[in-house]
C-alpha cells in the first residue's frame, strides 16, 4: 500500500503542477503582469501554504522547534535540492529583475531571519514587522507592473479581437491567446489542491517504506525527517518549477523558488509568531541557519556568474544539499 501511495502522490503532484502553471500563465497574460511576479506571489504562496499550516499547527501544539525547522529546512531544500534538480533537467536563464530585485530581497529576508533568531525567540512584534515587509514588497511589485503597463499603453494601443490580446513590452511584441479569469482560477485551485494532496500521499507512502527499511535503526525518526519528509515538503515547489521550466516559463520556475523562500520567512514565520512567539533552539541557530545563509550566498554566485543556471551549477547546488543531509546524519550517529 505504501508503494501505491508513493506512486499515486507523485502522479497527483505532476497533474497539480500542470494545472498550477497553466492557471498562473493564464493570469499573467490576462492581467498583463509578468510571469515572474505571478511566480513570486500566487505560485509561491500556493506552494508555501503547507509550510504555513504545519508551522501554525506545530506552534499551537507547543512544538515551536518544528515550525522554525520547517522553514529553515524548506528554504535550504528550495535552493539546493529543488533548483539543483530543476536545472539538471532544464537549464534556466535568470531574468534581470531576479538579479536586481528578487534575489536581494530573498537575501535580506534570510539575514533578517538570522538576526531575529539570535535571542532565541521570534516575538509578535518581529512577526508583525516581517509580515508587513511582505505586504509592502508585494504592493510595490504590483505597482511597478502597473506603471510599466501604463507606460506601454501610451506607446501603443492594445489590439483586442475576441479571445486574442496583444501584449506589448518594452522589449518585444507578441500575440498570445488568453484564458478567461474563471478558467485560470479553476486551474489554480486544482493545482493547489493537487500539490497539497499529492505531497501528503507521497510523504505517507515514502515514510511507510522508510520505516520498513530502517526498522532496526534507533535513529530512524530523525533520518526519515531530514530526508523523506524534507523532500516531501519541497515536492510542490519541485514539481511546479520543473513543469514551468518544461513549458519554458522559466520566470515562473525561478520566481516560485525565490518567492517561496521570501514567503516562508515573512509570511510563515511572520504569521506564526504573531499568533504565538516562536522559540528557536540553539542547534538551529548554530547549525541550520548558518547552512541556510551559506547556500543562499552560493546561489548568489550561481545567479550572477554567467547568463544561465546550467547543469554544472545544478550539480553544485545538489551536492551542497547532499552535504547538508550527510552532516546531519553523521551528527545523529555521533560520528562528528
| pLDDT at residue number 157 | 53
Confidence tier at 199 by pLDDT (50, 70, 90): low
Q: What is the pTM of this model?
A: 0.75
Confidence tier at 289 by pLDDT (50, 70, 90): very high
Other beta carbons within 10 Å of 194: 22
Contact call for residues 303 and 90 (beta carbons, < 8 A): no
Angle at 274 between CA 273 and CA 277, to 5 degrees: 40
**56 or 96: which carries more pLDDT confidence?**
96
Contact call for residues 61 and 272 (beta carbons, < 8 A): no
pLDDT of 334 above 80: no
Q: By C-alpha distance, which of 14, 31, 53, 23 is closest to 252?
A: 23
Axis crossing angle, helix 44-60 with helix 250-263, rounded to the nearest 10: 20
pLDDT of 14 above 90: no
Helix, strand, coil distribution of the chain in percent, nearest 5: 80, 5, 15
Mind listing the pLDDT tens digit for each residue in 144-157? 766 665 655 555 45
Alpha-carbon Rg for the chain in angstroms: 20
| pLDDT at residue number 4 | 83
Tell me phi and psi for residue 59, to 5 degrees: -65, -45
Q: By C-alpha distance, which of 194, 195, 236, 244 is closest to 28?
A: 244
Average pLDDT, the chain: 77
Question: What is the spatial distance between Cα 278 and Cα 63, in angstroms, rounded to a whole number?
Answer: 9
Q: Give the 3-state secondary structure of residue 278.
A: strand
Question: What is the spatial distance between Cα 187 and Cα 239, in angstroms, rounded to a whole number?
Answer: 15
Residue that has been written with the C-alpha cell 514587522 in this structure: 129
| pLDDT at residue number 148 | 63
* Dihedral sign for Cα atoms in the order 208, 202, 236, 63: negative
Grid coordinates representing 9 are: 502522490
Contact call for residues 25 and 188 (beta carbons, < 8 A): no
| pLDDT at residue number 174 | 44
Q: By C-alpha distance, which of 317, 263, 36 is closest to 134?
A: 263
Enumerate domains of the chain plus CATH numbers: 2-332 (1.20.1420.30)
Question: What is the spatial distance between Cα 241 and Cα 39, in angstroms, rounded to a whole number?
Answer: 9
Confidence tier at 223 by pLDDT (50, 70, 90): low
DSSP code of 34? Answer: -
Contact call for residues 176 and 167 (beta carbons, < 8 A): yes
Highest mean predicted confidence (pLDDT) among 55-69, 110-124, 281-295: 110-124
Contact call for residues 324 and 291 (beta carbons, < 8 A): yes
Question: What is the spatial distance between Cα 259 and Cα 261, in angstroms, rounded to a whole number?
Answer: 5
pLDDT of 219 above 90: no
Q: Give the 3-state secondary structure of residue 249.
A: coil
Q: By C-alpha distance, which of 282, 280, 284, 301 is closest to 292?
A: 284
Mind listing the pLDDT tens digit for each residue in 71-80? 888 899 889 9
Contact call for residues 24 and 42 (beta carbons, < 8 A): yes
| pLDDT at residue number 108 | 97
| SS3 sequence of 143-196 | HHHHHHHHHHHHHCCCCEECCEEEEECCCCEEEEECCCHHHHHHHHHHHHHHHH
Question: What is the spatial distance between Cα 195 and Cα 11, in angstroms, rounded to a whole number?
Answer: 10
Residue that has been written with the C-alpha cell 497574460 in this structure: 29
Amino acid at each position: 500500500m505504501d508503494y501505491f501511495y508513493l506512486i499515486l502522490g507523485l502522479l497527483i503532484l505532476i497533474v497539480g503542477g500542470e494545472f498550477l502553471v497553466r492557471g498562473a500563465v493564464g493570469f499573467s497574460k490576462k492581467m498583463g503582469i509578468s510571469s515572474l511576479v505571478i511566480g513570486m506571489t500566487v505560485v509561491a504562496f500556493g506552494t508555501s501554504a503547507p509550510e504555513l499550516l504545519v508551522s501554525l499547527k506545530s506552534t499551537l501544539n507547543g512544538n515551536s522547534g518544528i515550525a522554525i525547522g520547517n522553514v529553515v529546512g524548506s528554504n535550504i531544500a528550495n535552493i539546493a535540492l529543488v533548483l539543483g534538480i530543476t536545472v539538471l533537467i532544464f537549464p534556466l536563464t535568470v531574468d534581470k529583475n531576479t538579479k536586481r530585485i528578487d534575489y536581494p530581497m530573498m537575501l535580506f529576508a534570510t539575514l533578517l531571519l538570522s538576526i531575529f533568531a539570535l535571542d532565541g525567540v521570534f516575538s509578535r512584534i518581529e512577526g508583525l514587522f516581517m509580515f508587513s515587509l511582505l505586504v509592502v514588497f508585494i504592493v510595490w511589485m504590483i505597482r511597478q507592473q502597473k506603471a510599466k503597463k501604463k507606460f506601454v499603453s501610451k506607446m501603443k494601443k492594445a489590439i483586442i479581437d475576441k479571445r486574442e490580446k496583444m501584449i506589448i513590452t518594452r522589449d518585444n511584441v507578441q500575440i498570445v491567446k488568453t484564458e478567461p479569469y474563471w478558467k485560470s482560477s479553476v486551474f489554480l485551485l486544482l493545482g493547489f489542491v493537487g500539490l497539497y494532496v499529492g505531497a501528503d500521499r507521497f510523504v505517507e507512502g515514502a515514510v511507510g517504506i522508510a520505516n520498513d527499511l530502517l526498522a532496526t535503526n534507533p535513529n530512524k525518526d530523525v533520518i526519515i525527517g531530514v530526508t523523506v519528509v524534507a523532500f516531501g515538503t519541497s515536492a510542490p515547489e519541485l514539481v511546479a518549477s520543473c513543469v514551468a521550466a518544461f513549458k519554458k516559463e522559466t520566470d515562473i520556475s525561478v520566481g516560485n523558488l525565490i518567492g517561496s523562500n521570501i514567503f516562508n520567512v515573512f509570511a510563515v514565520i511572520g504569521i506564526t509568531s504573531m499568533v504565538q512567539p516562536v522559540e528557536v533552539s540553539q542547534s538551529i541557530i548554530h547549525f541550520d541557519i548558518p547552512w541556510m545563509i551559506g547556500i543562499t550566498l552560493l546561489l548568489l554566485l550561481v545567479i550572477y556568474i554567467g547568463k544561465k543556471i546550467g547543469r554544472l551549477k545544478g550539480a553544485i547546488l545538489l551536492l551542497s544539499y547532499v552535504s547538508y543531509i550527510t552532516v546531519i546524519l553523521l551528527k545523529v550517529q555521533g560520528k562528528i
